[in-house]
Structure formats: C-alpha cells, structure tokens
Chain A
Amino acid sequence: MAAYVIRRLLVNVLVFLLISVGIFTLVRVAPGDPVRMMVDPEQMRGGGAAFIEAKRQELGLDQPVVVQYGHWLSGALRGDLGFSYVGHRPVGAVLGERLGPTLQLMGAALVVALVVAVALGVAAAVRRNTAVDYGATVLGLAAVSVPPFFLGIVAIYVFSLKFGVLPSAGMTTPGDGGPLDQLRHLVLPGLILAFVTAGPFTRYVRSGLVDELGADYVRTAEAKGASKARVVLRHALRNSLIPLITVVMYQIPQMLAGAVVIEQVFAWPGMGQLAVSSIGQHDYPVIVGFALYVAVLVLVCNLVADLLYAVVDPRVSLR
C-alpha cells in the first residue's frame, strides 16, 4: 500500500507539472492583455502608451512565455505563486482566504446531498415502480435540469424578499458574523448546491441498491429470517454504497462548477467568485493559481477514491 501511495504521488507530481505548463501557456496565449484592462488612457493625459509599456515590464509580461514560466516555477517551488495584478497581494494569500468559504459551502452541501441521496435512493429502490420511486426520479431529474442560478434567484425572492426569513446574500451580516449568523447565510446557497449535487447521487444509490437486493446473499439473509430493514440497511445498502465512493470523489471537483454559480448569485466570497473575477480581469497569477488548485483537488480526490476503495472493500488490494 505504502509503495502504491508513493508511486501515485510521484505520478501526480509529474501530472501536476504538465498541467502547470499547459495552464500557464494557455492563459498567456489566450487573447487578452491584463495591462490594457487595468489602464484607462483617457485618465492619462497623454501618458497612456508609456504607462502601459512600463507596467508590462514591471509585471514581466514583455518576456517570452518560457522565461515567464521559469520565473513562476522557481517561485512556486519556494511556495510563492506570484502577486495578484488586481488585489496587489500574494496569490497564496488571495486563494487562502477563499478556500475556507468554499470548503464550508461545499462541505455542508456534500453532507446534506449525501444524506438526502441515500434516504431517497433507498426509498426508491425498496419501493421500486411506486409513487415514491417516480417521485425520487423526478426530483433527481429536476436537480440536474434546473439551473442553479434560477433556483438561487427564486430562493432569494421567496425566502428573503417575500417572507424575510433568511438573508439574501453574503456570508455574514456586516457587524455580526457569529456562528448562527453564518449558518443562516449558509442555508440557501448550501441547500441549493446540495439539491443539484444530490440528483446524480440518488440515481447511483438507487441503481446500486436495486442490484444488491437481487443478489444471492440477500435471498440467503431473507431465508434466515432477517427483517426487511436489517436486510436492506445492514447488508445490501453497505455494499451498494461502495461505488458511491468513486462517484462522490469524482463529483467533488464538479461541485466546484456549481459553487461558482451559487457563489455569484449569493455573493459568497469563495473560490468561484474569485475565478470569475480573475478571468474577467486577466489576473494571470490568480487564474493559474486557481486552475492548479482545481488540478490538485482532482488528483487528490482520485487518489483518495482509490485508497478508500481498498479500505472499504477487502476484495480490492493496491499494489
């Protein structure tokens, strides 16, 4: 197992380096010029061209992409991801302060999504082809079909504007920021992200459990007089959840895409908002930093999925 982990980590480092080359190059060759975005020559009274040129030199953008990458890599190996063109702060600090809110949003949504998906999936599998099953299917379809921004706007209208029971945006109330205040702000974005995430999970739980319920060992357990609940929850459900580990781990990076939209709608100060604004402003160092964060998330989730598989399923051994 240890050898496997070390080998995978080394491969991941290589993959990470290749990704960094790709991202760095793509960001730089894509149309757009960060300096042009930050300067309004109308304010310059004739000094615009000189200011733009000086700024390009200051940021090193006048150098070949290979040289720029070399500078970036040597900094990154020392833990320095560069300086945000827009925020005027180190990229590590900019990303760091966004990580907490995004993890909070995604973590809460993941827990709720899993709980709801397991409950709905079990109910749908046990009561196949009944109203419960059809209801769960419709909910699952709605979750993947309705755009999160639409749900967000409807939720703001209903719960904030109409009934005034929950705040409409932000992570805290200015001047408050206590745990309960944060929780109140988390409810709407967290539940909507949970809803859109729970859709596919529910389908996996249902189909996995349906397969298991038809297996020989389930019939044996039933023949031995085990109760229906014990057969489903103690035996079949446990085994049906094994594939879900992989699905969840692959879904976590995808949740980030949903979080980007949710964060925009609810002004949630996370990674998603940062990514959107950085791309709009061509803040190269932050874009590269964010893209690498996503890459790390995918690599880590894949590795964790493989390791968990071996832990929970004795038939799997890692060599």
Chain B
Amino acid sequence: MTIGTGRGRGAAVGIGRRPVAMALGGVLAAAALAACSSDPTQQSSGGDTGVLNMYLYQKPKTFSPLAPNNGPDQLVMSFIFDSLYGADASYALKPRMAAAPPQVSKDARSVTFTLLPGLKWSDGKPLTAKDVVFTYNALANPATGSAQSGKFAAVDGAKELADGKAGSLKGVTAPDDTTVKISLSRPAAGLPGLIGNFPILPAHVLGRLPAKGLGDNGFFTKPTVGSGAFTFVQYKTDQYVELAANPHHRQPVSIKKAFLKPVTSDVATAQLGTGEMDLAQISPTDLPTVQKLKDVKVVTAKSPGFNRIAVNQSKARFKDARVRQALLSAIDRKGLVEKVLAGAGTVVDSSFYGDLAPSGTGYAYDPAKAKSLLAAAGWDSSAPVTLSWVPGQRDRDTAATVIQSQLKAVGVNVELKQVQADALLSSYEDKSYDLALFGGGNYATEPSTVATIDACDQAYPNGGNISRFCDGELDGLLKKADTIAEPAERKSVFQQAAKVENAKVPYLWLYNPDTIWAYRTRLSGFEPSGVPTNEVGFWDMASWKLS
C-alpha cells in the first residue's frame, strides 16, 4: 500500500448518522426483547413434563460399540442400545434382553445365551439371535476397526477371523431365533461377564455392509435403529443429543423425549437450579451448592472404580513387595476420603470388589510400620521419587499433595509432577515414571478382568498392567478361575487370588469415590449407577417417569 497525495481532509468518509442510530437501536431492542421474554426454565423443560434433560460430562465422539470405550459415548449408547446382560446395584450380572442367566457348561468350554421372545428393533423389525451373532462377529473382527476383539480370544475361530483366514466367527451360532451358542477353544467361564453387556447391533441395517471399515460407517454417527429405551434422533454437535422414546422397547417407556447435554460441570450445576437440567452427576466439591437447590434431590452410589497409584515395578527399587506395602501403610487413606471426598468414598485394599476382597488384611495408616518395612527393604531415601498425575480433578490434586507430605514423613522423597494425559501414557510406555496417580476401572461384574491390570502378559500397552506387576501365583489363580463353571468354587478361587494380590500390592489402592447424582424431584424411578463410565446395561430408563 502506498500513501498518495492528499486531496483535502474532511471530505472522504461517508458514515452517516442514521445507519449507526438504526443499528444501535436494533441491537438494543433485540437484546431487550430477548431478555424480557418468557422464563427460559419454562421453555426448556418445566413446561413439558415428557422431556428429560440430562448432563453429559464430556462431548460424545461416536456411538459405536466397536470403538474404544469412551465414557460419554457409552452413556449415550446406554439409552439407544440394549444388551443381553447388564448389572444390578451390586454389579452382579443381570439379564436384560436375555431370558435367563448365561448357561456355562461344566468344562467351561461352551456358553449359551437365551433371548426373550418377541424382541423388536425400534423400526419394528424382529430382534433375534442372528443379530447377536452378527454383533459378536463384528466385535471379534479387527478388520471392522473393533477395539474389542481381544475379549473374544477364547471363542472358537477367533484367531482365524483375526488373521483374515476366516470370514466369520466359527464358534458363535444361532440354532434358533432366541438361542446363541458359543463354543470355546479353551475354558473361559468369565466370557459372559466380558461380552454380555455389549450393545447388540441391527443385522438388517449393517449386515450387508463389508466387514472392513464397518466401524467408520455413518450409522455410528447417526444410529437411528436401536433397541434401547430411546431412539436416536440427532446430535446437534456440542449442544445436545436428542432422543425419543422407543415404541418397540421391551418395556413401555414413559418419558417421551430426552436431551443429553454436554456442558461444563459449573453450568450443569447452575442448570439444575434453573430447571434446564433434570439429572446430573456431580463432584463432591459441588455437593454443598447442589444440596441447597430447591426441588433437587441428591443420591449416591458405591462405585466399583477406584483411584490408585501405579508403582513402576520395572524399576529395581520398587520390585520388593515390602517397599510397596510400606508406601501403602504410609498413606492415611481414611483421612484422604474425609479430606478430599467429604467422606463420600470407601478405602479399598484390593482390586477385587465386594466380598471377594480380603477382610482384616488392610493397610491401616501406620508410619512407624512403613519406616520399618522400608528399612528392611534397604530403601534409599535420598533418591527422589516422582508422583505424576494429570491435574484438573480436585480430589486428585489435593490427594497428591497430601500423599507427598505423608510419604516424605517416612523417608520417601516424593516430587510432584503434573503432566498432560498423553505424557502420562507415554511414561507408562517407556517405563520412565515412578508413581502415577489415576483412576477408573470396573472389575466388579467379572472379577477375572482384574487380570487386565495385574497379569504378566498384560503389561502396558498390550494391556492395562501399568505397574508392570508380575506374579506367577496370581496369574495361575486367575487362569484357574476361568476353567471353573461352578459359581461358588469360582468365587473361592477369586478370594484366594485377592489375598495374593493384597499381599503383593501391585498398586497403591487409595479409595473408591462414591458416584453422586442430583436430580429434579419431578423425575422418579431413577436409581443411581456407580459406574464411572456409565457402561451399557446399568440403567433401566423405561422405569423413569416425569411428573
């Protein structure tokens, strides 16, 4: 740009008064009109008793059971898809579309699922055992993009399907419309707990598509045919997922419409107060605020997931079990629950849940015992130990600083290290971390899934064994449990495994934070779920009602 010679000032720009005045008037009038119109709470939900507004704690990505598990996706899918089995309040397997508990043969080499008769898809087409066979084939086949194929490893023909040598899963058949038979290449009594809660997909919609790349099909961004209590209407990106009652669900659905809204937790809490939100999971720190809200009820559920610290046992100084026992004894976990969760949590001493966990063998807060165990193990207190975690969750942020001071008091020189999620995962992979604080996991419904965090062959990134713990006895017991079909005998083996795990301390178990739900009192029939990722099969939305 060049500046030319001037032709006089004051004659150039033509900005008149009238347009400015009109624009100003228009904007102010519009703002005033908007602000003075009717109460938004009446528009959003209060005026229509058939519409439920629920908080989504993150934005969903895809609605595909083939994709890697993602909490908000699972929550949406729990509305629109149904599964053969779910879990009851104590996290035991509970039939949903199945007519009976799974039948496992005595040698644990075959499993039979029986479906309820007369099931239908939301488009009115019959839902049969063929749909289950199709779904399990899609899930077991890595070519579809499935992240779940590992769970089918024990099924006959799984390897051939994975290697591309077979077009279908030989071991899964449907002799009639309500029976699914699964034959296994090795005993796997835990299979129903592994695959029973997968959402079933409609074969009449997806069955003719090629298996390769099936997971990228547009159906999974707009799954308009399902079997859950609701059908998918639309996802207004980042705003809401719109659902409508499924007229063909196996039970009558009372609520006509549901909107799942991904907003921040602050906004969700505010909207509970204004009536724009009917149901939300809240953090313990928001509890005092929410309890003061009018017409809002708060309920809690015991969660099977727990916060823990992985101890990197690929490093020599953490290999001695006495060191890990000492670290656990040096942390006042009951105090942590009181301090960071306002008491809304439980201290645990095992990755096994409920009555499988050993009783009376806890690690009470005992700094003197910790010091003595460290001395016996020849601990070098001069070398620093890093405690890494992803900041942002208030309970973990506070817990990290408390743990640092308590471990320092027994001679463990902890340095705190806040990291990005990706950096933390990277440190798992290159084995560079010392201690890592994280949470999650549900090993309650199928106890053999503890193997994914404890077994020798599940070291990260092959599996979820971040601590790189390896114990032949525990591995042996977990494998043995898979060969036993009889529930009481199986339980006894898991109890033995839990004892071994408790003594060897693969992780520093901290606490199970309770899951806290708040809902407007116009909603009834809601039973809280303690599962942090809201897996499919935990809720009975058909029994929810709005007054």
- Residues of A with Cβ closer than 8 Å to B? 31-33, 36-52, 54, 86-89, 97-98, 108, 111-112, 115, 118-119, 153, 156-157, 159-161, 164-176, 180-181, 183-184, 186-187, 191, 215, 217, 221, 233, 235, 237-239, 241-242, 264-267, 269, 273-274, 277, 282, 306, 309-310, 312-319
A-B contact list, 28 entries, CB within 8 Å: A32-B423, A33-B422, A37-B421, A37-B425, A39-B147, A39-B461, A40-B69, A40-B464, A44-B452, A44-B463, A45-B463, A46-B463, A48-B464, A87-B221, A160-B270, A164-B41, A165-B36, A168-B276, A169-B271, A172-B239, A173-B43, A175-B48, A265-B264, A267-B239, A269-B237, A314-B11, A314-B12, A317-B4
Q: Across the two chains, which residue of chain B brings its CB closest to A263?
A: B238
With beta carbons under 8 angstroms apart, the residue of B4, B216, B238 that contacts A273 is B238
A276 to B39, CA, bound (A): 32
Distance A221 CA – B446 CA, assembled complex (angstroms): 89
Is A318 a contact partner of B274 (Cβ separation < 8 A)?
no
With A174-B242, A315-B7 given, can you name 7 additional A-B contacts, CB distance below 8 Å? A42-B463, A50-B142, A165-B36, A169-B261, A174-B51, A176-B43, A237-B15
For residue B17, CB closer than 8 A to chain A, the reply is yes
Chain A residue contacts of B20, Cβ below 8 A: 115, 118
Q: Which of B148-156, B317-325, B497-505 is the interface stretch?
A: B148-156
* B12→A313 contact, CB < 8 A: yes
The interface residues of chain B, by DSSP majority, are classed as mixed
B118 at the A/B interface (Cβ < 8 Å)?
A: no
Shortest C-beta distance, A66 to chain B (Å), equals: 23
Q: How far is the CA of A168 from the CA of B40 in the complex (A)?
A: 9
CB distance from B285 to the nearest CB of A (A): 15
Q: Is B479 an interface residue (CB 8 A)?
A: no
Rank and list the top 7 A-B pairs by shortest CB-CB distance, nearest first: A42-B464, A45-B150, A47-B150, A269-B238, A174-B259, A317-B4, A238-B13
Q: Are A160 and B259 in contact (CB under 8 A)?
A: no
User: A173–B47 Cα gap in the complex (Å)?
Assistant: 13
Contact with A along B421-443 (1 / 0, CB 8 A): 11101100100000000001100
B5: Cβ under 8 A from any A Cβ: yes
| Contact B61–A173 (Cβ < 8 Å) | no
With A153-B266, A170-B239, A183-B34 as given contacts, are A164 and B68 in contact (CB-CB < 8 Å)? no
Q: Which residues of B contact A217 (CB under 8 A)?
A: 9-10
B59 at the interface (CB under 8 A from A): yes
Q: What 1/0 flags go to B3-28 for Cβ under 8 Å of A?
A: 11111011111110100100110010
CB neighbours (8 Å) of B273 from chain A are 161
**B1 in complex: contacting residue of A153, A184, A316, CB < 8 Å:** A316
> Which residue of chain B lies nearest to A37 when distances are taken between CB atoms in the complex?
B422
Contact pick for A40, options B41, B68, B239, CB 8 Å: B68
- Cβ of A233: which chain B residues have Cβ within 8 Å of it? 17
> B169 → chain A, closest Cβ, in Å?
15
Tell me, yes or no, whether B35 is within 8 Å of chain A by CB: yes
B30 on the A face (CB < 8 A): yes
Q: Is B526 an interface residue (CB 8 A)?
A: no
Whether the Cβ atoms of A42 and B68 lie closer than 8 Å is no
Of B1, B13, B440, B462, the residue contacting A44 (CB under 8 A) is: B462
CB-CB under 8 A for A235 and B10, given A36-B425, A119-B24: yes
Number of B residues with CB within 8 Å of any CB on chain A = 87
Chain B residues with CB under 8 A of A309: 1
Residue of B nearest to A315 (CB): B6
Give the chain B neighbours of A316 by CB distance below 8 A.
1-4
- Are the C-beta atoms of B220 and A88 separated by less than 8 Å? yes
Query: B-side interface residues toward A, CB under 8 Å?
Result: 1-7, 9-15, 17, 20, 23-24, 27, 30-31, 33-37, 39-41, 43-44, 48, 51, 53, 59, 61-62, 68-69, 142, 147-151, 153, 194, 216, 220-221, 236-240, 242, 257, 259, 261-264, 266-267, 270-271, 273-274, 276, 420-423, 425-426, 429, 440-441, 452-453, 457-458, 460-464
Set of chain A residues within 8 Å of B270, measured between Cβ atoms: 156-157, 160-161, 168
- Which of B13, B153, B267, B420 interacts with A169 by CB under 8 Å? B267
- Complex: how many Å from CA A173 to CA B31? 17
Total cross-chain contacts (CB, 8 A): 246
Give Cα A248 to B65, complex, Å.
48
Query: Complex formed: what's the CA distance from A317 to B7 in Å?
Result: 12
Point out which of B12, B40, B276, B457 has the most chain A C-beta atoms below 10 A from its C-beta. B40
Q: Is the CB of A180 within 8 A of B37?
A: yes
The smallest beta-carbon distance between A304 and chain B, in angstroms, is 12
Contacts of A89 in B (CB 8 A): 221
Check if A319 sits within 8 Å of B422, measured CB to CB: no
Q: Contact at B142–A42, with CB atoms within 8 Å?
A: no
Inter-subunit contact A41/B461 (CB<8 Å): yes
A180 surroundings in chain B (CB, below 8 A): 33-34, 37
A235–B12 alpha-carbon span in the complex (Å): 10
When distances are taken between beta carbons in the complex, the residues of chain B under 8 Å from A318 are 1-2
B2 touches A319 (CB 8 A): yes
Q: How far is the CB of A77 from chain B (nearest CB, A)?
A: 24
Of chain B, the residue at the smallest CB distance from A191 is B31
A239 to B35, CA, bound (A): 36
The answer for the CA separation of A227 and B458 in the assembled complex, in Å, is: 85
Known contacts A88-B62, A164-B40, A175-B257, A41 near B460 by CB under 8 Å: yes
User: Are A168 and B221 in contact (CB-based, < 8 A)?
Assistant: no
A239-B12 contact given A45-B150, A88-B221, CB 8 Å threshold: yes
Give the contacting residue for B13; candidates A108, A181, A186, A242; CB below 8 A. A242
How near does chain A come to B421, taking the closest CB pair, in angstroms? 7
Q: How many angstroms from the CA of A198 to the CA of B364 in the assembled complex?
A: 60
Residues of A near B5 (CB, < 8 A) are: 315
**Complex: how many Å from CA A215 to CA B8?**
12
Most buried by B among A45, A172, A264: A45
Hey, which chain A residues are within 8 Å of B9, CB to CB? 215, 217, 239
The smallest beta-carbon distance between A208 and chain B, in angstroms, is 12
- Residue pair A44, B274 in contact (C-beta under 8 Å): no
Q: Which residues of A contact B44 (CB under 8 A)?
A: 167, 173-174, 176
Question: Which residues in B have their C-beta under 8 angstroms from that of A40?
Answer: 68-69, 464
Contacts of A315 in B (CB 8 A): 3-7, 12
Cβ–Cβ contact A38 & B68, under 8 A: yes
Residues of B within 8 A of A54 (CB): 142
Residues of B within 8 A of A269 (CB): 236-239
Residues of A within 8 Å of B7, CB to CB, are 314-315
Please state if B220 and A43 are interface contacts (CB–CB under 8 Å).
no
Contact B15 A49 (CB under 8 A): no
Chain A residues with CB below 8 A from B263, complex form: 169-170, 267
The contact of B40 among A37, A46, A166, A277, by CB within 8 Å, is A166
What A residues does B460 contact at CB under 8 A? Answer: 41, 48
Question: Which residues does chain A contribute within 8 Å of B420, judged by CB atoms?
Answer: 31-32
List chain B residues, Cβ under 8 A from A183.
Answer: 30, 33-34
Please give the distance in Å from A164's CB to the nearest CB on chain B: 6
Knowing A39-B147, A160-B270, A238-B10, the reply to whether A170 touches B23 (Cβ < 8 A) is no
Contact with A184, one of B2, B40, B53 (Cβ below 8 angstroms): B40
Would you call B238 and A51 a contact (CB within 8 A)?
A: no
Q: How far is the CA of A119 from the CA of B24 in the complex (A)?
A: 10
Is there contact, CB below 8 Å, between B239 and A43? no
> Known: A44-B150, A174-B261. Is A49-B461 also a contact (CB below 8 A)?
yes
Structural contact, A48 and B23, CB atoms closer than 8 A: no
Residues in A whose Cβ lies below 8 Å from that of B40: 160, 164-167, 173, 184
